[in-house]
Amino acid sequence: MKIDLHIHSRYSDGVDEIEELIPKIVDHGIDVFALTDHDCTDGWDEAAQLAKKYGISFIPGIEITTQGTFKDHKVGIHLLAYLPDANNPELQALLAENRELRQTRMKKLVENLQVDYPDLTYEKVVAGARELSTIGRPDLVSALWDLGGFDDVQDIWNGPVAKGSPYYVSIKARDVLEIIRIVRNAGGVPVIAHPLSRLGDDSNAAQFFPEEHFEQMVEAGLLGLETSHIEVSPAMREVLEKFAAKHNLILTGS
């Protein structure tokens, strides 16, 4: 059985509409999938209907924007929430708040970029996004690409919109401990997405692992870690899997 528990559609930063996405999932031989768009549940109904049509299993999910603490610094953490009640008012209020934060952050990003890309506007970024979708950096990349001047779209990702770029603006989201509790109260299964991605090599993975903070997340109700992800190094995966075994956490992947 082939399972993928971390898939995005055009409702956030995926490239496919739901009706295009499900046949591709089938073509890849996936038997069970989770739709985990950023900060929204809008694609769930359509995904469920098409999954039934194609004879595959669908798990409703969300990738929620949060913040945590790493070496005394606030860092962005993405929390996967599986099977929560989509009608839970506290959860939906949180998702609406995050989408608004993303819009505010995007306006500031555009403002910063206009110093060197004066033809870029927030309206151009939004125009390329799907209606009702969660605005994100892929929409900004598309708008910059349409302006021209780049040889490859990856040059945009590695340059002006990169997290280390002087233009970059982070999202001031709520603390991950609070979000974990909200997800649990909504009946969901909270799992940290690609934990500590791009951190730690074979020689120093353990020193990058903030065990105390992860234990706080477990105490708050964390139930799993997404360790099988391309951005999680093999050495870091080993550290995370040992922690998961110690605390009886589930392991997921994409």
List, run by run, the mean pLDDT of 10-residue segments along the chain (254 residues). 91 87 95 95 95 96 90 84 97 95 91 92 82 75 88 89 87 94 98 77 61 91 92 83 95 86
The Cα angle at residue 80 between residues 77 and 83, in degrees rounded to 5? 155
What pLDDT is stored for residue 204 in this prediction? Answer: 58
What pLDDT is stored for residue 219 in this prediction? Answer: 96
What pLDDT is stored for residue 208 in this prediction? Answer: 67
How far apart are the two ends of the chain, measured CA to CA in Å?
13
What pLDDT is stored for residue 111 in this prediction? Answer: 94
What pLDDT is stored for residue 138 in this prediction? Answer: 82
What pLDDT is stored for residue 10 in this prediction? Answer: 84
What pLDDT is stored for residue 32 in this prediction? Answer: 97
Please check whether residue 168 lies inside any domain of the structure: yes
Domain that holds residue 168: 3-193
Quick count: other Cβ atoms within 10 Å of Cβ 51? Answer: 20
Please check whether residue 226 lies inside any domain of the structure: no
Please check whether residue 244 lies inside any domain of the structure: no
Please check whether residue 251 lies inside any domain of the structure: no
Residue 142's CATH number: 3.20.20
Question: What single DSSP character describes residue 151?
Answer: S
Contacts of 34 (CB under 8 A, 6+ apart): 4, 5, 6, 7, 58, 59, 60, 61, 80, 82
Please check whether residue 164 lies inside any domain of the structure: yes
Predicted model pTM = 0.88
Please check whether residue 122 lies inside any domain of the structure: yes
What pLDDT is stored for residue 36 in this prediction? Answer: 96
What pLDDT is stored for residue 205 in this prediction? Answer: 56
What pLDDT is stored for residue 131 in this prediction? Answer: 62
Task: Please give the C-alpha separations between residue 218 and each of 26, 92, 97, 105, in angstroms, as whole numbers.
Answer: 34, 23, 24, 30
Please check whether residue 239 lies inside any domain of the structure: no
Looking only at the bridges linking them, the beta strands covering 32-35 and 3-7 are: parallel
What pLDDT is stored for residue 233 in this prediction? Answer: 79
Please check whether residue 167 lies inside any domain of the structure: yes
Domain count, the chain: 1
